[in-house]
Each structure stands twice: as C-alpha cells, then as structure tokens.
C-alpha cells in the first residue's frame, strides 16, 4: 500500500539554533565599530568613501531671494501688543486729580465719611501712605483704609473690613465704596456688588479693571475680617 501523505505537508528545514544569536552578536558589535572607523580622524574615512562614490557631503547653501519693489517697514509695536485706549482707560492712567496733592486727597476723606480719621505719611522718593479708620458705632463694624502711592499716582488701595455684625453689611460696605471712588473716581464704572456678596461665605473673588486687579479675601486667622485690595497697573 502507498502511504498517505501527511496533512501538514512536507516539513520545512529547521534553521540552525546558533544563527539567530550569531546575527544579533554580529550587528551589536559590528555596527559601532564601523561607525567609529568612519568618523575617526575628523570623519576623513567617511569623506574618502563619499569621494569614491561621488557623494557630496558639503552643507547646502541657503538661497538668497532678492525681491524688487517697495519694502514695507515693520510696525513699531507687534500687532498683539498694539492697542488703543478709550477715554475711560485714559482717565485710569491718571487716577488722581492733578489739581490736588496726595495729602489733600487723603485729608479730604472726611468729606465722604465725617467720622474718618485720615493720617498722611510721606516717604522717600515722593512715595506716601494714607491711612484712615471709620467706625460704625450702631453696628460694631469698622473699616480700615490704607492707600499707597507715588506723587499723584495711587499704587494700592486696601480696605480691611471688621465684620462683627453681618446683618449690617450694607451699612459698612457702601461707605467703603464711596471712599474708594473718592480716591479713584474712574472706579465708579466697576460693579463691586459681587465683592460684597461673597462676604460671610468664606470664598474669594477676583476681577480685572483694565490692567488693574481687584480681589476680596477672607483673613485666615479671623473669619470676621476681609480684605479688599486694588492693585493699580504699574
């Protein structure tokens, strides 16, 4: 009888087990040696082989394109930085009344709050500080105002709120806004009611007025105290 053919077909000859490790060994050790030889002596060996094979290894020269016609000068400022100021922003750049000195404005806080106690302190290089306290006897609440600036320009306005009686928050917050607007009239365009709304909630709030930053934070050591800070653009 003729033997039946195997269903798997004729078997393929097996590759010797030593060939694969030998090829890996050859590649691992031969390639680094070849690279070292080619780039030895400053790459002279590589240059010789390239010359024999007529291969140009010199760097390509940059093409110089000469354009004819009118050349437009670049803008004085990049487009991203270019901006125009509205009348309100122009007023913000000169926040204080040029007809009054910083001391006159500081002492004039009594025209807004009759029980305010302003104190003006000059410093070196035309810097100054103005502080004032305003008490609200009927509510036990009080505010402390601290203003710092240079010449006739305000740098920072800080209002410290001592909120003993939250039920009379409006009676304390509204006069503080009037004091701020007396110092910087252009802040009348800002709606600060959102700052008042977050008081007694323990949250923080930040808003921007042009490039000026306004923030309201609760003090960490005393939950009854809050700080409203206006940092003017430099």
Domain boundaries, the chain: 22-52, 88-231
Number of H helices, E strands in the chain: 6, 7
Tell me what pLDDT residue 2 has: 53
Tell me what pLDDT residue 209 has: 81
Beta-bridge partner residues of 159? 145, 228
Tell me what pLDDT residue 89 has: 40
Return the closest-CA partner of residue 155 out of 213, 113, 89.
213
Tell me what pLDDT residue 75 has: 45
pTM across the whole model: 0.57
Tell me what pLDDT residue 118 has: 94
Q: CA angle, corner 160, sides to 216 and 169, nearest 5?
A: 75
**Residue 187, token pair as written in the block:** 């802040």
Tell me what pLDDT residue 84 has: 37
Which residues in the chain land under pLDDT 50?
Answer: 71-94
Positive or negative: CA dihedral 174, 175, 176, 181:
positive
């Amino acid at each position: 009888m003729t033997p039946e053919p195997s269903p798997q077909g004729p078997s393929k000859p097996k590759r010797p087990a030593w060939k694969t490790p030998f090829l890996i060994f050859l590649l691992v050790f031969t390639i680094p040696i070849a690279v070292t030889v080619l780039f030895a002596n400053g790459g002279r060996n590589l240059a010789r082989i390239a010359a024999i094979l007529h291969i140009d290894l010199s760097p390509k020269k940059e093409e110089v394109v000469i354009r004819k016609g009118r050349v437009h000068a670049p803008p004085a400022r990049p487009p991203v930085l270019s901006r125009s100021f509205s009348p309100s922003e122009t007023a913000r750049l000169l926040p204080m009344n040029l007809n009054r000195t910083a001391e006159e404005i500081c002492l004039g806080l009594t025209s807004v709050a009759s029980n305010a106690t302003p104190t003006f302190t000059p410093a070196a290089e035309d810097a100054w500080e103005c502080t004032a306290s305003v008490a609200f006897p009927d509510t036990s609440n009080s505010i402390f105002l601290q203003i710092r600036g240079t010449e006739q320009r305000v740098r920072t306005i800080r209002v410290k709120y001592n909120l003993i009686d939250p039920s009379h928050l409006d009676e304390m917050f509204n006069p503080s806004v009037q004091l701020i607007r007396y110092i910087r009239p252009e802040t009348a365009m800002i709606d600060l009611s959102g700052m008042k709304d977050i008081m007694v909630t323990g949250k923080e709030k930040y808003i921007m007025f042009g490039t000026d930053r306004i923030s309201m934070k609760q003090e960490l050591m005393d939950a009854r105290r809050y700080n409203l800070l206006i940092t003017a653009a430099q």
